[in-house]
């Protein structure tokens, strides 16, 4: 039945009346009337279409209230604001435009999305974790699409702004929504759950990530676990059985659980994992029954674990595993997530989308497994962001492991020299660069090499991938 793509395609489905907005947000109608209907919801005047409701959000470096006049010029039929911008004259505002005053526009956006989610009435699956959220979301959407009309939030629409905008985009005909949830500071997960109210939830795992905001690994676990706590009590928790702390913590909740992983007690389990240049195969066992060897187009055991979680989501929604497998086995990796590609000169493993210590370790492990036949192995690493006081330690560990795997290491960013020095101590030739531009100006890799590219999104290593593909 397919998986609708993109917020842009469905933003017009919101169809909310002013009366609903006022009631959902607990706001005050300062202009217009309760019967005005909005065709969509927007927080960005650059993307706003005539007839939409504009929500003036305020952040550290911007204030949407500064763009109220632009929103009206572009045809907005409604505003959610917490203050009137300088120079705004209410008596001159057309009565065909509804203005709703609230204390906090971000909270109002979430409250309105929560109302709209109940109005649509679809079942919701939430996916979070330190690694593999997006891949697991994509796999779940494919698996559930075998039986249901499914929507998935696009790209990185996974935070307190992106999740509401995704919810407003859900078409009327959708039966199940699959939503990735991302957090970086305490309190976010609890709020996201209140907005979405998921019936089924998955935690892919807990690793060191966003430590600047969440403190330490225990802080990450505590905050991520709020997803399980915020799942409907009659719902289902899909639990990574390989992470003992997460599994033990989940036992204290009243929900039904389905476990997945490589642990012998996991209900959806994989054995005999083999990583090959074109994919990964494994023996699949579900509640003790073998379903034979299966293959996915993704490289690495960690992707197998994501696939197991997706199959468990099918069980949670009443779909037999056999019905889910064809869709799962046909889905391909997203760009920048351990995507293998061959050019005339190189074998490239593109993992440039993002990085944290756990995902870097997995990428290096896969790279080592599938490139034994190459005479030269090259690893290009960018900084891992948001690691707080532990950043130097984790970058040193990354460099040590990269030096064990690769002949040649290039590192980019604030911790580039830390990584390069550690890689040299492990026996590799290693070079540090402050920026991608500096790296690209001197980058020369001999023909026939295998190259892994891995770093946080903000570093911009996708430009290195593009250059190597052109060479």
One domain for residues 437 and 394: yes
Separation of alpha carbons 73 and 302, rounded Å: 49
Supply the mean pLDDT for the chain: 92
Question: Which residues, 6 or more positions from 40, have their beta carbon under 8 angstroms from its beta carbon?
Answer: 11, 12, 13, 14, 49, 51, 52, 53, 168
Whole-number pLDDT of residue 224 = 87
One domain for residues 55 and 145: no
Residue 260 included in any domain: yes
CATH code of the domain containing 33: 3.40.1390.10
Residues 285-325 have pLDDT tens digits of 999 999 999 999 999 898 999 999 999 999 999 999 999 99
Residues 206-247 have pLDDT tens digits of 765 444 545 456 767 888 889 999 999 999 999 999 999 889
Place of tokens 């402050």: 434
Report the share of the chain in percent with pLDDT over 90: 80
Q: In the listed set 299, 330, 361, which residue is the last one of a domain according to the structure?
A: 330
Q: In the listed set 330, 348, 373, which residue is the last one of a domain according to the structure?
A: 330
One domain for residues 212 and 312: yes
Residues 10-21 have a mean pLDDT of 76
Whole-number pLDDT of residue 3 = 39
One domain for residues 399 and 458: yes
465 has a pLDDT exceeding 70: yes
Whole-number pLDDT of residue 207 = 60
Contact yes or no for 307/338 (Cβ under 8 A): no
**In 297-436, which ranges are E strands?**
339-342, 347-351, 377-382, 408-412, 429-433
Whole-number pLDDT of residue 205 = 85
One domain for residues 89 and 67: yes
Contact yes or no for 163/157 (Cβ under 8 A): yes
Please state the domain count of the chain. Answer: 3
Residue 442 included in any domain: yes
Position 11 confidence tier, pLDDT thresholds 50, 70, 90: very low
Among residues 119, 135, 118, the alpha carbon closest in space to that of 127 is found at 135
The alpha carbon torsion through 348, 349, 353, 359 (nearest 10 deg) reads: -150
Whole-number pLDDT of residue 72 = 97
26 marked ligand binding residue: no
Whole-number pLDDT of residue 278 = 84
One domain for residues 87 and 133: no
388 marked ligand binding residue: no
Residue 112 included in any domain: no
Whole-number pLDDT of residue 61 = 87
One domain for residues 443 and 326: no
Position 4 confidence tier, pLDDT thresholds 50, 70, 90: very low
371 marked ligand binding residue: no
One domain for residues 153 and 295: yes
407 has a pLDDT exceeding 70: yes
> Rg for the chain (alpha carbons), in Å?
24
CATH code of the domain containing 384: 3.90.190.20
CATH code of the domain containing 234: 3.40.1190.10
One domain for residues 415 and 436: yes
One domain for residues 305 and 199: yes
Residue 418 included in any domain: yes
Residues 345-393 have pLDDT tens digits of 999 999 998 888 988 998 999 999 999 889 999 999 999 988 888 899 9
Residue 225 included in any domain: yes
For residue 4, the tally of other CB atoms under 10 A from its CB is 19
Question: Which residues, 6 or more positions from 413, have their beta carbon under 8 angstroms from its beta carbon?
Answer: 382, 383, 434, 435, 455, 459
One domain for residues 66 and 145: no
131 marked ligand binding residue: yes
One domain for residues 136 and 270: yes
Q: In the listed set 297, 330, 363, which residue is the last one of a domain according to the structure?
A: 330
Residue 41 included in any domain: yes
Whole-number pLDDT of residue 222 = 81
Of 140 and 129, more confident = 140
133 marked ligand binding residue: yes
Query: Could you tell me the residue range of the domain that residue 421 belongs to?
Result: 339-470
Residue 111 included in any domain: no
Residues 90-119 have pLDDT tens digits of 999 999 999 999 999 999 999 999 999 999
397 has a pLDDT exceeding 90: yes
Residues 330-356 have pLDDT tens digits of 999 888 888 999 999 999 999 998 888
Residue 404 included in any domain: yes
453 has a pLDDT exceeding 90: yes
Residues 113-127 have pLDDT tens digits of 999 999 999 999 999
């Amino acid at each position: 039945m397919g998986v609708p793509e993109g917020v842009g395609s469905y933003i017009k489905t919101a169809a909310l009346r002013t009366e609903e907005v006022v009631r959902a947000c607990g706001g005050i109608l300062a202009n217009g009337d309760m019967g005005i209907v909005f065709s969509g919801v927007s927080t960005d005047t650059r993307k706003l279409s005539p007839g939409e409701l504009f929500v003036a959000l305020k952040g550290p470096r911007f204030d949407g209230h500064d763009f109220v006049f632009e929103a009206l010029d572009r045809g907005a039929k409604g505003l959610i604001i917490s203050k009137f911008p300088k120079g705004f004259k209410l008596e001159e505002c057309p009565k065909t435009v509804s203005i709703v005053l609230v204390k906090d526009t971000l909270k109002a956006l979430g409250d309105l999305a929560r109302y709209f989610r109940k109005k649509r009435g679809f079942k919701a699956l939430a996916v979070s974790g330190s690694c593999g959220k997006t891949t697991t979301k994509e796999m779940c959407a494919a698996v559930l699409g075998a039986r249901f009309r499914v929507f998935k939030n696009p790209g990185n629409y996974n935070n307190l702004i992106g999740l509401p905008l995704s919810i407003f985009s859900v078409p009327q005909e959708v039966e199940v929504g699959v939503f990735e949830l991302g957090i970086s500071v305490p309190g976010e997960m609890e709020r996201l759950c209140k907005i979405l109210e998921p019936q089924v939830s998955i935690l892919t795992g807990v690793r060191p990530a966003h430590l600047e905001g969440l403190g330490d690994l225990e802080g990450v676990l505590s905050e991520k676990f709020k997803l399980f706590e915020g799942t409907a009590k009659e719902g289902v928790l899909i639990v990574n059985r390989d992470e003992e702390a997460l599994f033990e913590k989940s036992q204290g909740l009243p929900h039904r659980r389905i476990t997945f992983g490589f642990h012998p007690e996991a209900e959806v389990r994989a054995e005999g994992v083999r990583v090959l240049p074109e994919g990964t195969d494994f023996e699949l066992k579900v509640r003790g029954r073998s379903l034979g060897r299966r293959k996915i187009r993704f490289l690495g055991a960690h992707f197998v674990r994501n696939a197991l979680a997706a199959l468990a989501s099918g069980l949670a929604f009443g779909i037999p595993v056999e019905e889910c497998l064809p869709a799962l086995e046909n889905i391909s990796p997203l760009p920048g997530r351990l995507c293998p590609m061959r050019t005339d000169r190189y074998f490239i493993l593109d993992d440039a989308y993002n990085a944290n210590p756990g995902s870097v370790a997995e990428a290096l492990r896969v790279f080592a497994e599938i490139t034994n036949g190459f005479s030269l192995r090259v690893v290009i690493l960018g900084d891992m962001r948001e690691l707080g006081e532990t950043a130097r330690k984790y970058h040193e560990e990354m460099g040590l492991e990269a030096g064990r795997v690769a002949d040649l290491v290039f590192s980019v960013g604030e911790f580039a020299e830390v990584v390069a020095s550690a890689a040299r101590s492990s026996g590799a030739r290693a070079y540090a660069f402050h920026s991608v531009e500096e790296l690209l100006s001197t980058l020369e890799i001999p023909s026939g090499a295998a190259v892994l590219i891995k770093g946080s999104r903000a570093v911009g290593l996708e430009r290195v991938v593009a250059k190597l593909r052109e060479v």
